[in-house]
Structure 1
Amino acid sequence: MVNPTDLKAQGNALFGAKIFAEAEKKYTLAIEATDEATASKELAVLYANRAACRLSLKRYMDADADAKKATDLDPTYAKAYARLATAQDRMGVFHLSKESWKHALDALPKGELKPEEQVQKTQYEASLEAATAALIKLQNTVVGDSAPNEGPFVMRGEGRMPWDLAAAIVPRLRTQRPTATSPELFSSAWVIKAAYEDFMNGVGLMKQLQVVGQGTHKRVVGMVGAILGLTNGIMRDSRVMHIPDNDFISKYNKQVAFEARGYKAWTEGGPEVVIQEALTRQRKDGWDATRPALSITVRYLNLEMFPAEFDKSISSAWIMRGILDSGVYQRHHVAVEFFRNCLTVIRTLREHWILESKEDRGAIFEKSFEFGVQQLYLEALMKSYSDEDGSMEVLEDLFKESDLLIHEIDEVLRQPRSTEPVDPGFVSSFYIYPKGEAYAMKGFYYNKRAMKSGNDQDLFHKSALEYMSAAKSFPQDDEKHPWYLHAAFGSMMNSHAFPLRETLDVMKQIREAVPKANEIWERSALSACGVMGIYRNTAKKEQQLRDMVVAGKASLDDRMGIEYH
């Protein structure tokens, strides 16, 4: 028989050696070998230890679940409360972590403390103070005041937003009958218009939610499908995410509570819990009870993001929470976990249900949905790298996931497709654009590696090629086309590997694409960051270089370097 004490000792040794994934496995085996009825306090230690592993692995939701279990088993266990509070801090739910730090302090022995307990007390007090300050800052954050290029912003300039301008262009595009074999007719107008329609359909459904009756007869009535609309819009193009009115967050939170209860979505625990319970529910209750609950769970989660306005049994979405955390609150590492958890649930359950029909499993298991989540995940990973310590681990994860996405999309696109008219917005949103973003992330990867390696010119060369592939994945009237061309231009200049003729060609492409992109994207978040000034400077530099060639001061075969930039 397996001895849980031996397994715990092995886990402790592995944890001390910082081999966290293997330590987690040992603690899991020890948990499975321990009887909760006769050894609750010993089991609490194992859960708390596994929570520590998961904190080190940056799996904060799973760490949260383990630490909660430990505190349930032993309400006097100070370290368990501290690990719970740490997980909550990392997820940005400071109203919860504040209370958990208080519990950790209360659980310490009363009276004179041992030296190690005094150290704990000092640490917990400092953490409580930090969580309190973070909560105050969060409560005073004005949605829409974030950097405009970072996502969700309050809609301004009504009638001239990208979706408005796109709506005026689409009727002309429809007369050209785009098909899967005529990609030159694709336009970003298709993408942003369809994304906006989905998003605003969700907003419209949220507005129908209301409380009727009084006293014991009070009940909430409304329409389901609002979260589906919001997330579908964001999955089509995350740039559609904006705050349409001042009470959007309050309405959203109430809608989440309404739909989660209606579908019996999972409102506690991380992907491990969801996977296990989804498999059990499907076996016991069938697909009609499992499919909608899974869809809603993937789209949102119990994390009580806005406590002042929200029922404490339910909270924000995995996808929506990721968007809000990365865009509004700049907590990119939190967004990474939410999107990664979505992918974990989708990929794991798809393998379990690989023989089941698409209709039974539901839309979240389609590759197009996964590609949309992967795109959001890549963007959050990139921002977390720039926002935190610039670790190579994050950078390597970014490259690996980007490369995987490109290969998987290529595999799908190689399959025979109909030549009948298609929805070009769908094709672009879930196949072409995600592939383009993956190329851009590989460009980012090589660029950062080049700088870490002392401006390695070969890596800058690779970066330029990846950025050019990214630009080609977007039509000329998408703002990302000239933007990624400009990123390619920067890496070209650092590489000293491209002849002037190629550099001038890229600069020309930027100059010609900008007016076309501005037909739709003149009031986008990216435009608000001053990219037009950057493009104007590039155009001036292009003219200077062309003048140098005419004057015989430079040759089209010259290798261009940063001194020309």
Structure 2
Amino acid sequence: MASVAGVDSNAVERLKAEANALHREGSYQAAYQKYSEAIKEKPDKAVLSILYANRAASCLALKEYMDGFHDGQNVCLCQISSSKSDHLFSQAAKLDPTYVKAWARMGTAAHVLGMWSACRYAWQSALACLPTANLTDAQLILERQFKEGIKAADAAEAKSHSTAEKQLMYLNKDSSAPWDRALALAEENQLVEGELPSSGFVILDAYRDFVRGIKAMQQIVINRQGDNLRIKAIPNALIDITNGLLRDTRVFHADSRFFEQLEAQIRYEGEATAAWGSGGPKRVQKEAIARQRKEGWLPVRRALSVTVRAWIIKGFIDTNMGSLISGVEFYQRTLDLLEWGRRTWHNVASEDRGIIFEASFVRGVRRLHLPAVLRLYLKEGVQSGVSLETIANLARELMAETEASVRPPDYLLNPGFYASFWIYPAAEALSIIGWYHMQLGLQRIDSKLDLDQEAVKTFRQASQYYIQAADRYPEDEEERPSMLAVALEALWWSETPLRETLPLCRRIRAAMSKSATLWKSSQKSVTNQNAKCKDAVQFLIACEKELAEGTATLDSTLVPTDLVSNPFP
């Protein structure tokens, strides 16, 4: 058996060959494991570069872009300087900075993650590895690919900045925000408590957390001296910002300096706690256990908290700025890490392992992840790699986990927390299960809009789930009338008579009145996302007129004309 400097070269080559074969046949997770085993043998730099680059390819095939980026980084560079929007960098061992494949895989992963500076840097570095003259046909193809990568990164970054500016334009509008209304009602003891507490508790608690974090972050001082960056900041701002978003994302608002300050805050807290600035769950899982054994719980808990919260914020921003693949990636990898931590440290007290591994925290991340996956599916369809069944299963898992989770003994004394992590997850899960049945019903309708009994049954199931979702929400929640409105739409599709649809219309009208107390100036209201509710009220008025005139009866199956003309919204 050949051996060089204590390295079993035959074992390395055997593992590498097995990994390559597994990758070629599409067994990417198994390939990743084999590459990892070969890496553990600590071969020379040339072989190690190939192993890391190949493992990066397996990560990309698994859509685990964070770990794929880090493996490319392991090969190519010691450090990338952080710049706007790129928070996820760290030191790594330089093995072969001329390895074109590693740079290309870094560029691919960085593009998906929305790390535009890193993406350009990777493609430019890949380009620099090619000869300057007399390129072969294969090298010309690579040159064109690398230049296209740079061009695509520039275009995507410009688009993301434009989206951010539009988002901030709305967020900076001065209006009577829901949290202001909630505060006024709370001061007058007019927010309903009990088993189904007012949504005012939810938005008010979320606002207090979020604003506390924002105000702390705004104290940051950034000094740039050439390539050097010195930051003075208040620690733990990320805790409050993410807590606010986990409670209710509608609390998000920002000014024009938000993104610059956020990047600096993440960098500051990451460096202060030695958080993982690069890589994904696979890297963190490997290193966290070793660090805990060596350093104890306190430093590891802090590092894990900053790492996870940075991922959550990145996922939130990317999802809301249109980078849906990146947003889903950050949420999914966050869940991967949290679920691993709950399994690995299930006997460790919360005070040691940290709040991030509590069931309620994980459920909060699921609430962010599920709609992001849904939005990705709606944008890209099956090309996203997501199916209707995937979304339905995620919703069912969220519902089952919420129902199985024991409420805190003081839940009635902390209505905002209870609602955010028990009431709202169940309601949202039910609504997405309703959406799933709605899509199945629409798929059964042919171009002539002929209904069969299975389609009718499916639409009615959708309506029932939406009604259940509405009933789970607080009575003054703006989503309650919206859920009822989609339930009504499902009944229209199933040709349900007026004796069932009109009572639902009246429920929608009453729910709109109750929710307006808090949500009259919400983003949903201002941008007319509650148009279905208004349509339901207009439908009610028109039908009541026809009933009074005798041109319709309660057995009539009237539907709005635009439903027939636009069956697939």
TM-score (norm 2): 0.85
Q: Which residue of 1 aligns with 2:211?
A: 200
Residue type matched to 1:521 in 2? W
Residue type matched to 1:444 in 2? W
Following TM superposition, by how much is the alpha carbon of 1:14 offset from its aligned partner in structure 2, in angstroms?
4.2
Cα distance change of structure 1 residues 410 and 137 upon mapping to structure 2, 3 Å threshold: closer
Q: 1:108 aligns with which of 130, 135, 155?
A: 130
Q: 1:170 aligns with which of 183, 186, 205?
A: 186
Taking the TM superposition and a 5 Å limit, the aligned residue runs for 1:210-225 are 210=221, 220-225=231-236
Q: Which residue of 1 aligns with 2:171?
A: 154
Q: 1:357 aligns with which of 349, 353, 356?
A: 349
Mean Cα deviation higher: 359-368 or 441-450: 441-450
Q: For 1:544 and 1:380, how far apart are their aligned partners in 2?
A: 37
Tell me the secondary structure at the aligned position of residue 164 of structure 2.
coil
Q: For 1:208 and 1:299, how far apart are their aligned partners in 2?
A: 19
| Structure 1 residue 143 corresponds to structure 2 residue 136 | no
Q: For 1:144 and 1:434, how far apart are their aligned partners in 2?
A: 30
Cα distance change of structure 1 residues 7 and 389 upon mapping to structure 2, 3 Å threshold: farther
Cα distance change of structure 1 residues 9 and 277 upon mapping to structure 2, 3 Å threshold: closer
Q: Which residue of 1 aligns with 2:364?
A: 372
Q: Does structure 2 retain, via aligned residues, the 8 Å contact 1:7–1:26?
A: no
Q: 1:265 aligns with which of 268, 275, 299?
A: 275
Q: Deviations over 1:512-559 (max 9, x none)?
A: 111221211122111122245543332121122234444554443456
Following TM superposition, by how much is the alpha carbon of 1:34 offset from its aligned partner in structure 2, in angstroms?
5.0
Q: For 1:393 and 1:518, how far apart are their aligned partners in 2?
A: 36
Q: Does structure 1 retain, via aligned residues, the 8 Å contact 2:291–2:300?
A: yes
Q: For 1:337 and 1:15, how far apart are their aligned partners in 2?
A: 21
Instruction: Report the count of equivalent residues.
Output: 527
Q: For 1:34 and 1:253, how far apart are their aligned partners in 2?
A: 33
Equivalent pairs: percent with the same residue?
Answer: 33
Q: Which residue of 2 aligns with 1:538?
A: 536
Residue type matched to 1:436 in 2? A
Cα distance change of structure 1 residues 472 and 103 upon mapping to structure 2, 3 Å threshold: same
Cα distance change of structure 1 residues 494 and 13 upon mapping to structure 2, 3 Å threshold: farther
Tell me the secondary structure at the aligned position of residue 141 of structure 1.
helix
Q: Does structure 1 retain, via aligned residues, the 8 Å contact 2:28–2:61?
A: no
Tell me the secondary structure at the aligned position of residue 272 of structure 1.
helix
Q: 2:201 aligns with which of 190, 213, 216?
A: 190
Q: Which residue of 2 aligns with 1:25?
A: 30
Q: Deviations over 1:404-444 (max 9, x none)?
A: 1101111124x6x6478411111111111111111122222
Q: 2:73 aligns with which of 53, 56, 68?
A: 68
Q: For 1:357 and 1:35, how far apart are their aligned partners in 2?
A: 32
Q: Which residue of 1 aligns with 2:250?
A: 239
Q: Does structure 2 retain, via aligned residues, the 8 Å contact 1:198–1:233?
A: yes
Following TM superposition, by how much is the alpha carbon of 1:131 offset from its aligned partner in structure 2, in angstroms?
1.8
Q: Deviations over 1:426-467 (max 9, x none)?
A: 111111111111112222222334334446444333322222
Cα distance change of structure 1 residues 41 and 471 upon mapping to structure 2, 3 Å threshold: same
Cα distance change of structure 1 residues 452 and 55 upon mapping to structure 2, 3 Å threshold: farther
Q: Does structure 2 retain, via aligned residues, the 8 Å contact 1:8–1:27?
A: no
Q: Does structure 2 retain, via aligned residues, the 8 Å contact 1:60–1:90?
A: yes
Tell me the secondary structure at the aligned position of residue 162 of structure 2.
coil
Mean Cα deviation higher: 62-71 or 458-467: 458-467
| Structure 1 residue 385 corresponds to structure 2 residue 377 | yes
| Structure 1 residue 93 corresponds to structure 2 residue 115 | yes
Following TM superposition, by how much is the alpha carbon of 1:368 offset from its aligned partner in structure 2, in angstroms?
0.9
Residue type matched to 1:246 in 2? S
Q: Which residue of 2 aligns with 1:295?
A: 305
Q: Which residue of 2 aligns with 1:303?
A: none
Following TM superposition, by how much is the alpha carbon of 1:202 offset from its aligned partner in structure 2, in angstroms?
0.9
Cα distance change of structure 1 residues 257 and 74 upon mapping to structure 2, 3 Å threshold: closer
Following TM superposition, by how much is the alpha carbon of 1:360 offset from its aligned partner in structure 2, in angstroms?
1.4
Cα distance change of structure 1 residues 389 and 4 upon mapping to structure 2, 3 Å threshold: farther
- For structure 2, list consecutive stretches of 5 or more residues without a partner in the other structure: 1-7, 77-93, 447-454, 564-569
Tell me the secondary structure at the aligned position of residue 393 of structure 1.
coil
Cα distance change of structure 1 residues 153 and 378 upon mapping to structure 2, 3 Å threshold: farther
Cα distance change of structure 1 residues 4 and 557 upon mapping to structure 2, 3 Å threshold: farther
Q: For 2:191 and 2:432, how far apart are their aligned partners in 1?
A: 35
Q: For 2:477 and 2:546, how far apart are their aligned partners in 1?
A: 32
| Structure 1 residue 504 corresponds to structure 2 residue 521 | no
Q: Does structure 2 retain, via aligned residues, the 8 Å contact 1:70–1:80?
A: yes
Q: For 2:334 and 2:341, how far apart are their aligned partners in 1?
A: 11
Residue type matched to 2:172 in 1? M
Tell me the secondary structure at the aligned position of residue 276 of structure 1.
helix
Q: Which residue of 2 aligns with 1:330?
A: 322
Q: For 1:23 and 1:419, how far apart are their aligned partners in 2?
A: 47
| Structure 1 residue 131 corresponds to structure 2 residue 153 | yes
Q: For 1:279 and 1:426, how far apart are their aligned partners in 2?
A: 31
Q: For 2:513 and 2:186, how far apart are their aligned partners in 1?
A: 18
Residue type matched to 1:331 in 2? S
Q: Deviations over 1:306-357 (max 9, x none)?
A: xxxxxxxxxxxx1111111111x21111111111111111110111111111
Taking the TM superposition and a 5 Å limit, the aligned residue runs for 1:456-475 are 456-475=455-474
Q: Does structure 1 retain, via aligned residues, the 8 Å contact 2:218–2:261?
A: yes
Residue type matched to 1:489 in 2? L
Q: For 2:155 and 2:339, how far apart are their aligned partners in 1?
A: 38
Q: Deviations over 1:117-160 (max 9, x none)?
A: 3222222222222223333444x5263404x9xxx9423224x1
| Structure 1 residue 121 corresponds to structure 2 residue 139 | no
Residue type matched to 1:324 in 2? I
Q: Which residue of 2 aligns with 1:485?
A: 484
Mean Cα deviation higher: 511-520 or 453-462: 453-462
Q: For 1:367 and 1:420, how far apart are their aligned partners in 2?
A: 15
Following TM superposition, by how much is the alpha carbon of 1:187 offset from its aligned partner in structure 2, in angstroms?
0.8
Q: Does structure 2 retain, via aligned residues, the 8 Å contact 1:144–1:154?
A: no
Cα distance change of structure 1 residues 175 and 349 upon mapping to structure 2, 3 Å threshold: closer
Q: 2:284 aligns with which of 274, 282, 290?
A: 274
Following TM superposition, by how much is the alpha carbon of 1:162 offset from its aligned partner in structure 2, in angstroms?
0.8
Residue type matched to 2:69 in 1? D
Q: 1:396 aligns with which of 377, 389, 393?
A: 389
| Structure 1 residue 56 corresponds to structure 2 residue 61 | yes
TM-score (norm 1): 0.85
Mean Cα deviation higher: 555-564 or 396-405: 555-564
Residue type matched to 2:164 in 1? V
CA RMSD in angstroms comes to 2.9
